[in-house]
Structure 1
Amino acid sequence: MRYTGISASYAVDDVPRALAFYRDILGLDVGLVPLGIEGADVPQGMEVRLPDGHRFVVYPSLHYRPAEFTVLSLKTPDIESAVDELIAKGVVFEQYDVPRTDAKGIHRDPRVKPVAWFRDPAGNIIGLHQDSD
């Protein structure tokens, strides 16, 4: 079998609210996109365009339930400043016993790069990983 690419997506309960969060809080390049062919009676979704050229779609779901696992991981060269910046914008980071997170919500283990988790407005878990040493 030959694949021509990949496509990733996950659901939210409110696309306009998700669009505002991903654009205004996370600072990502986002826009509304049709989810079907022109003229089809389908809702709009949100396309997120990442700096590395990857794209994914966030779509509305009538039977939505938040994912209890990481649906998206964002990379940052400085997790400390990224976490501080998001906290200043009102983002609340998850606190876990396993893996253990510190007061800021950052998991620090010398065997892995630092990582922190937070939820989007729909309750999906987003990871934030340090991408450099």
Structure 2
Amino acid sequence: MFGETTAYSSFSVDDLDAARDFYGDRLGLTVEETGGGDMRMLFLTLPGGARVFVYPKENHTPASFTVLNFEVDDIDRAVDDLVARGATFERYPDFDADDKGVLRGDGEGGPAGIAWFTDPAGNVIAVMQAR
């Protein structure tokens, strides 16, 4: 039924201008603004061409899960670069992350390392290094 349609994920933010600057300037994604007035929205183009719809929501509550995952070749370099761009990495009590905020894989599947940070609206984003 949907095999030949266009589909995309979406999430909300509380400040569309801050989101546009964050995703475009800090993360380097292609950001397209569409609509006008109360109907302004963003489309983020991810590596590989997939798109994500970002919309403003007056009573926005940050997602309690990871909304975007970026796979990187070198988790340490990615974390250092993001910190230099102003990102602060989250520390979760159930995970034993290192000083950089990276949860290192134990060799039993899963990523070699993963770290989480948030966008200006508090939505969680991850960078992860595959094995």
The letter for the 2-side match of 1:75 is E
- Could you give the per-residue CA deviations for residues 5-59 of structure 1, whole angstroms, max 9, x where no partner exists? 4221000001110010111111111121238xxxxx7511111001201011110
Preserved CA contact (<8 Å) 1:95 1:102: no
Cα deviation per residue 1:53-87 (whole Å; 9 max; x = unaligned)?
10111100112111121111111111110100010
Gaps of 5+ in 1: 36-40
RMSD: 1.6
CA separation of 1:59/1:2 partners in 2, compared to 1, >3 Å: closer, same or farther? closer
**Distance in 1 between residues matched to 2:28 and 2:10, nearest whole Å:** 19
Pairs aligned (count): 127
Tell me the percent identity. Answer: 41
Could you tell me how far 1:2 is from its partner in structure 2? Answer: 4.1
Distance in 1 (alpha carbons) for counterparts of 2:129 and 2:21: 24
1:38 aligns with none
Does residue 116 of structure 2 align to residue 117 of structure 1?
yes
The answer to whether the Cα contact below 8 Å between 2:8 and 2:50 also exists between their aligned partners in 1 is no
Between the aligned partners of 1:53 and 1:123, the Cα distance in structure 2 is 25
Encode CA deviations 1:96-118: one digit per residue, 9 max, x unaligned: 23222111110112222111000
Provide the rounded CA distance (Å) in 2 between the counterparts of 1:51 and 1:23: 13
Q: Which residue of 1 aligns with 2:24?
A: 23
